[in-house]
Amino acid sequence: MTVGSRMPLRLFQSSGDLMADRRFEFARDLQLKGDLPAAADLIEQALELAPNFTSAWFTLGEIRQQLGERDKAIAAFREARRSDPDDQHGAHLHLIRLGDEQLSEMPKAYVQALFDQYAPRFEHTLINDLGYRAPSLIFKAVVAARVAAKKPALFKHAIDLGCGTGLAAAAFAKQVDHFTGIDLSPGMIKEARATGLYAELEIADMIQGLQGKPQGSANLIVAADAFVYLSDLAPVLTEARRVLAPGGVLAFTLETQDGSGIILGEGLRYAHAAEYVRSALVRTGLKLLTLQAASPRIENNEPVRGLVVVAEKT
């Protein structure tokens, strides 16, 4: 599952003070019209009325960032996180982008809130606006790898990590007898259930979901643009290897970049260098079958740079 950087919805949590909420709404209108100094002034007025207004602190951080006021942006994002330690707005990610904090994993509450909001229009936006094709890339790569190994591309039990609304299960529907979907977002699980493609669905993060599965119980694990929400791939790869039966296949897409290691991109998703992926697979004992450059979708009228990866448990 993935979301473009230009979200059609944004998280709003009321301050509980009607006047503060109204000032915030006026400020958002000014921000969208490009009058950033006036928007910042209004938000600061809202924060005088409601000092723990997380949505206002977060938006003030965005505006300060747009104005190039780095120190003020950092201060506002820190306040957003102070007022909501679960960090549903994802202030931590902006602090990483601003160089104030080290690269680390995303707040789970942020990922869950993001996708819960987005679930009803997720599929429409991905397919119609972003030319999303991660599931078909994974499907073609898995079939090609199985043909090359002279093995059938048929799987008794598959697990779809970060299953979203079920697009990967739809791609593999004729190849899989029993599909389990795992997603952190209850909203996405509700959409996936409506497809009838899954024998089982679970609300869990990817690593937790795999930890609950018996060793050697899956023949295929897919993750269509789900690992872009993980920085360190080692934990999920380790669990995937444990859950796969011998000869089982793991297939996933990622975003990538020219440097080494991992960065947090402008769209607030992690981009993994190809060499990092190779070494992570070696360390976890999975055999790399395919690592190809492939764009999973369009964003801001440009193809997103990505990788499609297929590995096997030997």
Residue 136: CATH number of its domain: 3.40.50.150
Among 73, 102, 131, the domain-final residue is 102
Q: Domain for residue 3, yes or no?
A: no
Contact call for residues 275 and 225 (beta carbons, < 8 A): no
**Res 114: pLDDT:** 86
Domain co-membership, 150 together with 270: yes
**Res 300: pLDDT:** 80
Contact call for residues 266 and 6 (beta carbons, < 8 A): no
Nearest 10 degrees: Cα torsion 97, 100, 12, 203: 70
Nearest 10 degrees: Cα torsion 260, 266, 269, 274: -20
**Res 142: pLDDT:** 98
Domain co-membership, 153 together with 98: no
Among 68, 102, 136, the domain-final residue is 102
Among 49, 69, 102, the domain-final residue is 102
Q: Domain for residue 305, yes or no?
A: yes
CA–CA distance, 17 with 39 (Å, rounded to integer):
18
Domain co-membership, 31 together with 60: yes
Q: Domain for residue 142, yes or no?
A: yes
Q: Domain for residue 293, yes or no?
A: yes
Exposure of 93 in the CB half-sphere (CA atoms within 13 A): 26
Q: What is the DSSP string of 67-99?
A: TT-HHHHHHHHHHHHHH-TT-TT-HHHHHHHTT
Domain co-membership, 154 together with 293: yes
**Res 124: pLDDT:** 62
Full domain range(s) for residue 141: 121-312
Count of structural domains within the chain: 2
Domain co-membership, 287 together with 187: yes
Divide the 314 residues of the chain into consecutive groups of 10 and give the mean pLDDT of each group: 45 90 95 96 97 96 96 98 96 97 95 82 62 91 97 97 94 97 95 96 97 98 96 98 98 95 94 97 97 90 94 96
Domain co-membership, 91 together with 130: no
Contact call for residues 287 and 246 (beta carbons, < 8 A): no
Q: Domain for residue 27, yes or no?
A: yes
Domain co-membership, 148 together with 84: no
**Res 8: pLDDT:** 37
